[in-house]
Amino acid sequence: MSKLFINLINFYQIFLSFDKGILAILAPGGACKYSPSCSEYTKQAIIKYGFIKGLSLGGKRILTCR
């Protein structure tokens, strides 16, 4: 399950992200107020803590955005 979500995050980062992906042309300065971005943070948390805790930490961070 972890690998699936990491692959989904990678897809998002490449194609849909306003910070790193193709859509970055729509937000030249980037859209994320966090460093690393929420998607990168979530990916790192899943790798470090496992699927459930990593997804929970990433979700909490996304909910605090703007």
Residues 1-27 pLDDT 10s: 889 999 999 998 888 887 777 776 666
pLDDT tens sequence across 54-63:
999 999 998 9
Measured distance CA(53)–CA(26) in Å, rounded: 32
Q: Is 17 exposed, middle or buried (0-12, 13-18, 19+ CB in 10 A)?
A: buried
Length of the chain: 66
Measured distance CA(51)–CA(29) in Å, rounded: 31
Report pTM: 0.81
Residue 16 backbone dihedrals phi, psi, to 5 degrees: -115, -15
Measured distance CA(47)–CA(43) in Å, rounded: 6
